[in-house]
Amino acid sequence: MSQTDARDLVGHLKQVLLDLNAHPYPAIANPPETPKRASVALILRIQPHYAHPQLHPPAPASHETIDSFFAHDWVQHGDPELLFIKRATRIGDKWNGHVALPGGKRDAEDADDQVTAAREALEEVGIDLGHDSAIAVGNLPQRVVTTSWGKVPLMVLCPYLYLLTSPHYPSQRLQPTEVASTHWVPLRALQSPALRTHEYADVSARLARSELGIKRCFLQAMLSSMMFAAIRLLPANSTYCATIPAFIPEAPNAASQPPLLLWGLTLGVVSDLLEHIPPHNALELWTYPTFTNWDVRFVMWALSYRFRSQKALEMRTTEDPATVGTVQEVADLPGIQEETAPEEPGKEGYRPGEVGIAGLGVGRHWGRTGRVKMLTRGAAVNSMLEGYYPIVRKAVATALVGRIAVAALVATYLWRAYKASS
Protein backbone atom coordinates (compact mmCIF):
# COMPACT_ATOMS: atom_id res chain seq x y z
CA MET A 1 0.00 0.00 0.00
CA SER A 2 1.37 3.41 -0.92
CA GLN A 3 1.83 6.15 1.64
CA THR A 4 -1.12 8.00 0.10
CA ASP A 5 -3.31 4.92 0.60
CA ALA A 6 -2.07 4.58 4.19
CA ARG A 7 -3.06 8.18 4.89
CA ASP A 8 -6.48 7.51 3.38
CA LEU A 9 -6.89 4.51 5.69
CA VAL A 10 -5.99 6.60 8.73
CA GLY A 11 -8.51 9.24 7.68
CA HIS A 12 -11.22 6.63 7.16
CA LEU A 13 -10.45 5.04 10.51
CA LYS A 14 -10.80 8.40 12.24
CA GLN A 15 -14.26 8.91 10.79
CA VAL A 16 -15.33 5.39 11.75
CA LEU A 17 -14.13 5.81 15.34
CA LEU A 18 -15.84 9.19 15.64
CA ASP A 19 -19.08 7.67 14.40
CA LEU A 20 -18.88 4.68 16.74
CA ASN A 21 -18.07 6.99 19.63
CA ALA A 22 -21.03 9.26 18.88
CA HIS A 23 -23.50 6.48 18.05
CA PRO A 24 -22.92 3.42 20.25
CA TYR A 25 -24.72 0.20 19.47
CA PRO A 26 -27.44 -0.73 21.99
CA ALA A 27 -26.99 -3.47 24.54
CA ILE A 28 -28.67 -6.82 23.97
CA ALA A 29 -30.48 -8.47 26.84
CA ASN A 30 -29.67 -12.05 27.69
CA PRO A 31 -31.97 -14.71 26.24
CA PRO A 32 -34.13 -16.57 28.76
CA GLU A 33 -32.13 -19.06 30.84
CA THR A 34 -28.86 -17.76 29.36
CA PRO A 35 -27.25 -15.53 32.02
CA LYS A 36 -23.69 -15.56 30.67
CA ARG A 37 -22.10 -12.52 29.08
CA ALA A 38 -18.57 -12.06 27.71
CA SER A 39 -16.59 -9.15 26.30
CA VAL A 40 -13.65 -8.79 23.93
CA ALA A 41 -11.35 -5.83 23.35
CA LEU A 42 -10.36 -4.66 19.88
CA ILE A 43 -7.17 -2.76 20.68
CA LEU A 44 -5.98 -0.39 17.96
CA ARG A 45 -2.74 1.54 17.69
CA ILE A 46 -0.90 3.57 15.05
CA GLN A 47 2.61 2.53 14.01
CA PRO A 48 4.59 5.65 12.98
CA HIS A 49 6.10 5.74 9.50
CA TYR A 50 9.89 5.84 9.29
CA ALA A 51 9.83 9.26 7.60
CA HIS A 52 7.36 10.73 10.11
CA PRO A 53 8.49 9.79 13.62
CA GLN A 54 6.89 11.07 16.78
CA LEU A 55 9.11 13.98 17.84
CA HIS A 56 7.50 15.12 21.09
CA PRO A 57 6.63 13.17 24.23
CA PRO A 58 3.10 11.80 23.87
CA ALA A 59 0.37 13.35 25.95
CA PRO A 60 -1.56 11.10 28.36
CA ALA A 61 -4.58 9.51 26.78
CA SER A 62 -6.76 11.34 29.28
CA HIS A 63 -5.73 14.59 27.54
CA GLU A 64 -6.51 13.26 24.07
CA THR A 65 -9.71 13.04 22.11
CA ILE A 66 -10.17 11.13 18.87
CA ASP A 67 -9.95 14.41 16.96
CA SER A 68 -6.83 15.65 18.73
CA PHE A 69 -5.08 12.28 18.45
CA PHE A 70 -5.58 12.06 14.69
CA ALA A 71 -4.34 15.64 14.31
CA HIS A 72 -0.75 14.56 15.07
CA ASP A 73 1.53 14.34 12.04
CA TRP A 74 2.93 10.92 13.02
CA VAL A 75 -0.61 9.57 13.31
CA GLN A 76 -1.72 10.93 9.94
CA HIS A 77 1.24 9.21 8.24
CA GLY A 78 1.11 6.04 10.35
CA ASP A 79 -0.19 2.51 9.85
CA PRO A 80 -3.19 1.34 11.95
CA GLU A 81 -2.76 -2.04 13.65
CA LEU A 82 -5.06 -4.38 15.58
CA LEU A 83 -4.02 -6.76 18.37
CA PHE A 84 -4.74 -10.50 18.21
CA ILE A 85 -3.85 -13.28 20.60
CA LYS A 86 -3.07 -16.94 19.94
CA ARG A 87 -4.63 -19.15 22.57
CA ALA A 88 -2.39 -21.37 24.68
CA THR A 89 -2.70 -25.15 24.50
CA ARG A 90 -4.83 -26.56 27.29
CA ILE A 91 -6.15 -30.09 27.81
CA GLY A 92 -9.80 -30.29 26.90
CA ASP A 93 -9.92 -26.84 25.28
CA LYS A 94 -11.38 -27.11 21.78
CA TRP A 95 -9.98 -23.65 20.90
CA ASN A 96 -6.33 -24.60 21.48
CA GLY A 97 -4.03 -22.47 19.35
CA HIS A 98 -6.84 -20.46 17.79
CA VAL A 99 -6.54 -16.77 16.96
CA ALA A 100 -8.77 -14.62 19.14
CA LEU A 101 -9.20 -11.19 20.70
CA PRO A 102 -8.36 -10.44 24.34
CA GLY A 103 -11.45 -11.05 26.41
CA GLY A 104 -13.45 -13.38 28.57
CA LYS A 105 -16.57 -13.94 30.63
CA ARG A 106 -18.11 -11.22 32.75
CA ASP A 107 -17.59 -11.58 36.49
CA ALA A 108 -20.18 -10.70 39.08
CA GLU A 109 -17.88 -7.91 40.31
CA ASP A 110 -17.75 -6.20 36.89
CA ALA A 111 -19.86 -3.05 36.75
CA ASP A 112 -20.67 -3.50 33.06
CA ASP A 113 -19.57 -5.26 29.88
CA GLN A 114 -16.93 -2.64 29.06
CA VAL A 115 -15.28 -3.13 32.43
CA THR A 116 -15.04 -6.83 31.57
CA ALA A 117 -13.24 -6.10 28.30
CA ALA A 118 -10.66 -3.85 30.00
CA ARG A 119 -10.12 -6.26 32.90
CA GLU A 120 -9.63 -9.27 30.63
CA ALA A 121 -7.15 -7.37 28.44
CA LEU A 122 -5.10 -6.47 31.51
CA GLU A 123 -5.20 -10.04 32.85
CA GLU A 124 -4.46 -11.82 29.57
CA VAL A 125 -1.91 -9.56 27.86
CA GLY A 126 -1.01 -6.97 30.51
CA ILE A 127 -2.18 -3.94 28.51
CA ASP A 128 -3.76 -1.20 30.59
CA LEU A 129 -6.76 0.30 28.80
CA GLY A 130 -7.31 2.99 31.41
CA HIS A 131 -7.73 6.69 30.67
CA ASP A 132 -3.97 7.35 30.84
CA SER A 133 -3.16 4.79 28.14
CA ALA A 134 -6.08 4.46 25.77
CA ILE A 135 -9.19 6.14 24.43
CA ALA A 136 -12.32 4.10 25.01
CA VAL A 137 -13.90 4.56 21.58
CA GLY A 138 -17.15 2.64 21.85
CA ASN A 139 -18.62 -0.71 20.93
CA LEU A 140 -19.42 -2.91 17.97
CA PRO A 141 -22.68 -4.84 17.67
CA GLN A 142 -23.34 -7.33 20.43
CA ARG A 143 -24.36 -10.85 19.47
CA VAL A 144 -25.84 -13.98 20.95
CA VAL A 145 -23.38 -16.86 20.64
CA THR A 146 -25.10 -20.19 20.02
CA THR A 147 -24.20 -23.85 19.84
CA SER A 148 -25.80 -26.91 18.22
CA TRP A 149 -25.97 -25.05 14.91
CA GLY A 150 -27.95 -22.11 16.16
CA LYS A 151 -30.33 -24.08 18.38
CA VAL A 152 -28.98 -23.32 21.87
CA PRO A 153 -27.91 -19.80 23.00
CA LEU A 154 -24.77 -19.79 25.13
CA MET A 155 -24.02 -16.17 25.97
CA VAL A 156 -24.04 -12.58 24.76
CA LEU A 157 -20.72 -11.40 23.30
CA CYS A 158 -19.90 -7.69 23.62
CA PRO A 159 -17.00 -6.20 21.56
CA TYR A 160 -15.40 -2.88 22.62
CA LEU A 161 -12.92 -0.69 20.75
CA TYR A 162 -9.89 0.96 22.34
CA LEU A 163 -7.27 3.23 20.79
CA LEU A 164 -3.78 3.35 22.30
CA THR A 165 -2.29 6.84 22.07
CA SER A 166 1.41 6.04 22.40
CA PRO A 167 3.56 5.66 19.26
CA HIS A 168 5.44 2.81 20.96
CA TYR A 169 4.32 -0.78 21.31
CA PRO A 170 2.91 -1.31 24.81
CA SER A 171 4.69 -3.57 27.26
CA GLN A 172 2.91 -6.89 27.65
CA ARG A 173 2.63 -9.58 30.30
CA LEU A 174 1.10 -12.70 28.76
CA GLN A 175 -0.91 -15.04 30.96
CA PRO A 176 0.71 -18.48 30.33
CA THR A 177 -2.47 -20.50 30.85
CA GLU A 178 -4.43 -18.40 28.37
CA VAL A 179 -2.13 -16.80 25.78
CA ALA A 180 0.74 -18.31 23.80
CA SER A 181 1.52 -15.17 21.78
CA THR A 182 0.18 -11.80 20.69
CA HIS A 183 0.34 -10.26 17.24
CA TRP A 184 -0.14 -6.71 15.96
CA VAL A 185 -1.58 -6.94 12.44
CA PRO A 186 -1.97 -3.93 10.09
CA LEU A 187 -5.54 -3.16 9.09
CA ARG A 188 -4.45 -3.01 5.46
CA ALA A 189 -3.41 -6.67 5.73
CA LEU A 190 -6.85 -7.56 7.07
CA GLN A 191 -8.40 -5.80 4.06
CA SER A 192 -6.18 -7.51 1.47
CA PRO A 193 -7.94 -9.99 -0.86
CA ALA A 194 -4.59 -11.78 -1.31
CA LEU A 195 -4.67 -12.95 2.32
CA ARG A 196 -8.16 -14.47 2.18
CA THR A 197 -8.15 -18.24 2.57
CA HIS A 198 -10.10 -21.06 4.25
CA GLU A 199 -9.93 -22.96 7.50
CA TYR A 200 -10.96 -26.62 7.58
CA ALA A 201 -12.71 -27.95 10.67
CA ASP A 202 -14.26 -31.24 11.74
CA VAL A 203 -17.86 -30.45 12.68
CA SER A 204 -19.10 -34.03 12.97
CA ALA A 205 -19.24 -33.82 16.77
CA ARG A 206 -21.47 -30.75 16.61
CA LEU A 207 -23.77 -32.33 14.06
CA ALA A 208 -23.91 -35.57 16.03
CA ARG A 209 -25.02 -33.66 19.13
CA SER A 210 -27.66 -31.72 17.21
CA GLU A 211 -29.03 -34.56 15.04
CA LEU A 212 -30.32 -37.43 17.17
CA GLY A 213 -29.53 -40.94 16.07
CA ILE A 214 -26.48 -40.10 13.94
CA LYS A 215 -23.13 -41.22 15.29
CA ARG A 216 -20.07 -38.96 15.09
CA CYS A 217 -17.87 -41.59 13.39
CA PHE A 218 -20.50 -42.05 10.68
CA LEU A 219 -20.79 -38.30 10.07
CA GLN A 220 -17.02 -37.86 10.06
CA ALA A 221 -16.60 -40.51 7.38
CA MET A 222 -19.45 -39.18 5.28
CA LEU A 223 -18.88 -35.43 5.50
CA SER A 224 -15.10 -34.94 5.71
CA SER A 225 -14.27 -31.35 6.79
CA MET A 226 -16.15 -28.10 6.60
CA MET A 227 -14.58 -25.04 4.95
CA PHE A 228 -14.85 -21.63 6.61
CA ALA A 229 -13.78 -18.23 5.37
CA ALA A 230 -10.49 -17.10 6.95
CA ILE A 231 -7.77 -14.45 6.79
CA ARG A 232 -4.08 -15.37 6.94
CA LEU A 233 -2.54 -12.93 9.38
CA LEU A 234 0.75 -11.13 8.65
CA PRO A 235 1.87 -9.64 11.96
CA ALA A 236 4.00 -6.51 12.03
CA ASN A 237 5.07 -7.26 15.61
CA SER A 238 4.72 -10.35 17.80
CA THR A 239 5.29 -11.21 21.45
CA TYR A 240 5.65 -14.79 22.68
CA CYS A 241 5.11 -16.29 26.12
CA ALA A 242 8.42 -18.03 26.85
CA THR A 243 7.15 -19.84 29.95
CA ILE A 244 4.69 -22.16 28.21
CA PRO A 245 5.88 -25.78 27.62
CA ALA A 246 5.49 -25.57 23.85
CA PHE A 247 7.73 -22.52 23.47
CA ILE A 248 10.86 -24.64 22.82
CA PRO A 249 10.36 -27.56 20.37
CA GLU A 250 10.89 -31.02 21.83
CA ALA A 251 12.59 -32.37 18.68
CA PRO A 252 15.25 -30.78 16.44
CA ASN A 253 13.12 -31.32 13.35
CA ALA A 254 9.82 -30.26 14.82
CA ALA A 255 7.05 -29.40 12.39
CA SER A 256 6.86 -25.77 11.40
CA GLN A 257 4.20 -23.64 12.99
CA PRO A 258 0.94 -23.45 11.00
CA PRO A 259 -0.09 -20.03 9.69
CA LEU A 260 -2.12 -17.73 11.89
CA LEU A 261 -5.67 -17.92 10.59
CA LEU A 262 -8.43 -15.55 11.63
CA TRP A 263 -11.79 -17.28 11.25
CA GLY A 264 -15.03 -18.12 12.99
CA LEU A 265 -16.48 -15.88 15.65
CA THR A 266 -13.40 -13.65 15.83
CA LEU A 267 -13.53 -13.06 12.08
CA GLY A 268 -17.18 -12.09 12.49
CA VAL A 269 -16.32 -9.45 15.10
CA VAL A 270 -13.41 -8.08 13.06
CA SER A 271 -15.57 -8.05 9.92
CA ASP A 272 -17.96 -5.71 11.73
CA LEU A 273 -15.10 -3.22 12.02
CA LEU A 274 -13.77 -3.78 8.49
CA GLU A 275 -17.21 -3.34 6.96
CA HIS A 276 -17.31 0.20 8.37
CA ILE A 277 -14.03 1.12 6.63
CA PRO A 278 -13.76 1.80 2.86
CA PRO A 279 -13.73 -0.04 0.50
CA HIS A 280 -16.41 -1.82 2.61
CA ASN A 281 -15.44 -5.16 1.07
CA ALA A 282 -15.74 -7.50 4.05
CA LEU A 283 -18.89 -8.97 2.51
CA GLU A 284 -17.38 -9.45 -0.93
CA LEU A 285 -14.31 -11.21 0.47
CA TRP A 286 -16.30 -13.53 2.72
CA THR A 287 -17.64 -16.92 1.58
CA TYR A 288 -20.38 -19.13 2.98
CA PRO A 289 -19.26 -22.23 4.91
CA THR A 290 -19.48 -25.48 2.97
CA PHE A 291 -18.15 -29.03 3.05
CA THR A 292 -15.15 -30.40 1.18
CA ASN A 293 -16.99 -33.41 -0.29
CA TRP A 294 -18.38 -32.49 -3.69
CA ASP A 295 -21.82 -34.07 -3.30
CA VAL A 296 -22.56 -32.42 0.05
CA ARG A 297 -21.22 -29.15 -1.33
CA PHE A 298 -23.50 -29.39 -4.36
CA VAL A 299 -26.56 -30.10 -2.21
CA MET A 300 -25.72 -27.14 0.03
CA TRP A 301 -25.23 -24.90 -3.01
CA ALA A 302 -28.58 -25.97 -4.48
CA LEU A 303 -30.59 -25.69 -1.25
CA SER A 304 -29.05 -22.33 -0.28
CA TYR A 305 -29.17 -20.73 -3.74
CA ARG A 306 -32.37 -18.76 -3.11
CA PHE A 307 -31.22 -17.85 0.40
CA ARG A 308 -27.88 -16.53 -0.84
CA SER A 309 -29.54 -14.62 -3.68
CA GLN A 310 -31.91 -12.93 -1.23
CA LYS A 311 -29.04 -12.02 1.09
CA ALA A 312 -27.01 -10.61 -1.81
CA LEU A 313 -29.98 -8.51 -2.92
CA GLU A 314 -30.54 -7.37 0.65
CA MET A 315 -26.93 -6.28 1.02
CA ARG A 316 -26.82 -4.52 -2.34
CA THR A 317 -30.04 -2.68 -1.62
CA THR A 318 -28.88 -1.43 1.76
CA GLU A 319 -25.71 -0.03 0.20
CA ASP A 320 -27.81 2.53 -1.68
CA PRO A 321 -28.56 5.49 0.64
CA ALA A 322 -31.74 6.17 -1.30
CA THR A 323 -33.16 2.80 -0.26
CA VAL A 324 -32.63 3.03 3.48
CA GLY A 325 -34.28 6.28 4.38
CA THR A 326 -37.24 4.79 6.22
CA VAL A 327 -38.19 1.73 8.15
CA GLN A 328 -40.71 0.66 5.54
CA GLU A 329 -38.21 0.65 2.68
CA VAL A 330 -35.78 -1.65 4.46
CA ALA A 331 -38.53 -3.86 5.86
CA ASP A 332 -39.81 -4.53 2.35
CA LEU A 333 -36.54 -6.12 1.24
CA PRO A 334 -36.69 -9.86 0.50
CA GLY A 335 -36.41 -11.89 3.67
CA ILE A 336 -36.58 -8.92 6.03
CA GLN A 337 -40.22 -8.46 6.81
CA GLU A 338 -40.82 -12.19 7.20
CA GLU A 339 -38.04 -12.45 9.78
CA THR A 340 -39.09 -9.44 11.85
CA ALA A 341 -41.89 -10.14 14.27
CA PRO A 342 -44.45 -7.42 15.05
CA GLU A 343 -43.64 -5.39 18.11
CA GLU A 344 -45.72 -3.74 20.72
CA PRO A 345 -45.39 0.06 20.84
CA GLY A 346 -42.49 1.08 23.01
CA LYS A 347 -41.25 -2.49 23.38
CA GLU A 348 -38.40 -3.98 21.42
CA GLY A 349 -38.33 -7.66 20.62
CA TYR A 350 -35.53 -10.16 21.01
CA ARG A 351 -34.55 -12.76 18.47
CA PRO A 352 -31.32 -14.68 18.98
CA GLY A 353 -28.87 -14.67 16.11
CA GLU A 354 -27.00 -17.70 14.91
CA VAL A 355 -23.37 -17.36 15.89
CA GLY A 356 -21.97 -20.83 15.75
CA ILE A 357 -18.58 -21.97 14.58
CA ALA A 358 -18.68 -19.77 11.46
CA GLY A 359 -19.13 -16.64 13.50
CA LEU A 360 -20.72 -14.11 11.18
CA GLY A 361 -24.38 -14.60 11.98
CA VAL A 362 -25.23 -12.54 15.05
CA GLY A 363 -28.00 -11.68 17.43
CA ARG A 364 -27.88 -7.99 16.74
CA HIS A 365 -31.65 -7.78 16.29
CA TRP A 366 -33.05 -5.55 19.01
CA GLY A 367 -36.34 -4.92 17.23
CA ARG A 368 -37.58 -3.53 13.94
CA THR A 369 -36.00 -0.10 14.40
CA GLY A 370 -32.73 -1.61 15.54
CA ARG A 371 -32.61 -3.87 12.50
CA VAL A 372 -32.92 -0.85 10.20
CA LYS A 373 -30.05 0.82 12.06
CA MET A 374 -27.99 -2.34 11.65
CA LEU A 375 -28.47 -2.42 7.89
CA THR A 376 -27.94 1.29 7.35
CA ARG A 377 -24.75 1.62 9.42
CA GLY A 378 -22.55 -0.43 7.14
CA ALA A 379 -22.13 -3.55 9.28
CA ALA A 380 -24.63 -5.71 7.43
CA VAL A 381 -22.09 -8.55 7.18
CA ASN A 382 -23.55 -9.91 10.41
CA SER A 383 -26.88 -10.86 8.85
CA MET A 384 -25.34 -12.99 6.11
CA LEU A 385 -25.55 -16.26 8.06
CA GLU A 386 -28.89 -15.55 9.67
CA GLY A 387 -30.99 -18.54 8.70
CA TYR A 388 -28.12 -20.42 7.03
CA TYR A 389 -27.59 -23.15 9.63
CA PRO A 390 -31.04 -24.73 9.20
CA ILE A 391 -30.09 -25.08 5.52
CA VAL A 392 -26.81 -26.74 6.55
CA ARG A 393 -28.66 -29.30 8.65
CA LYS A 394 -31.14 -29.94 5.85
CA ALA A 395 -28.36 -30.26 3.26
CA VAL A 396 -26.42 -32.72 5.41
CA ALA A 397 -29.51 -34.87 5.94
CA THR A 398 -30.39 -34.72 2.23
CA ALA A 399 -26.86 -35.65 1.15
CA LEU A 400 -26.69 -38.55 3.61
CA VAL A 401 -30.06 -39.90 2.45
CA GLY A 402 -28.90 -39.54 -1.15
CA ARG A 403 -25.72 -41.48 -0.45
CA ILE A 404 -27.63 -44.24 1.30
CA ALA A 405 -30.10 -44.42 -1.59
CA VAL A 406 -27.29 -44.66 -4.16
CA ALA A 407 -25.53 -47.31 -2.08
CA ALA A 408 -28.78 -49.28 -1.83
CA LEU A 409 -29.33 -49.08 -5.60
CA VAL A 410 -25.77 -50.23 -6.31
CA ALA A 411 -26.08 -53.07 -3.82
CA THR A 412 -29.40 -54.14 -5.34
CA TYR A 413 -27.95 -54.07 -8.85
CA LEU A 414 -24.91 -56.11 -7.82
CA TRP A 415 -27.06 -58.62 -5.98
CA ARG A 416 -29.35 -59.09 -8.97
CA ALA A 417 -26.35 -59.40 -11.28
CA TYR A 418 -24.87 -62.01 -8.98
CA LYS A 419 -28.12 -63.97 -8.80
CA ALA A 420 -28.52 -63.83 -12.58
CA SER A 421 -25.02 -65.18 -13.16
CA SER A 422 -25.31 -68.00 -10.64
> How confident is the model over 133-146, as pLDDT tens digits?
999 999 998 888 87
Could you give the C-alpha distances from 255 to 90, 183, 250, 251, in angstroms and in order?
Answer: 19, 21, 10, 9
* Sequence letter at residue 161: L
For residue 394, give the nearest of 306, 329, 328, 315 by alpha carbon: 306
Q: Is the peptide bond before 279 cis (omega within 30 degrees of 0)?
A: yes
At 11, the pLDDT band (50, 70, 90 cuts) reads very high
Mean pLDDT of 110-120: 96
Q: Give the DSSP H/E element, type plus range, for residue 266.
A: helix 264-276
DSSP per residue, 92-113? T-TTTT-EE-SEEEPPTT-SSH
Q: Give the DSSP H/E element, type plus range, for residue 186.
A: strand 179-186
Name the pTM for this structure: 0.80
Q: What is the mean pLDDT of the chain?
A: 79
**CATH code, domain with 142:** 3.90.79.10
Greatest CA separation for the chain: 95
Domain count of the fold of the chain: 1
> How confident is the model over 81-100, as pLDDT tens digits?
999 999 987 655 555 779 99
Please state, for a pLDDT cut of 90, what percent of the chain lies above it.
Answer: 40
Q: Are 418 and 410 in contact (CB under 8 A)?
A: no
Phi, psi of 230 (to 5 degrees): -150, 165
- Please report the pLDDT score of residue 357 as a whole number: 41
Q: Hey, which of 65-74, 90-99, 325-334, 345-354 has the most confident mean pLDDT?
A: 65-74
Q: Are 157 and 355 in contact (CB under 8 A)?
A: yes
> How confident is the model over 183-232, as pLDDT tens digits?
999 999 999 999 999 998 877 666 655 554 556 666 666 677 888 899 99
Mean pLDDT of 406-411: 92
At 335, the pLDDT band (50, 70, 90 cuts) reads very low
Q: Which structural domain, as residue segments, surrounds residue 36?
A: 3-421
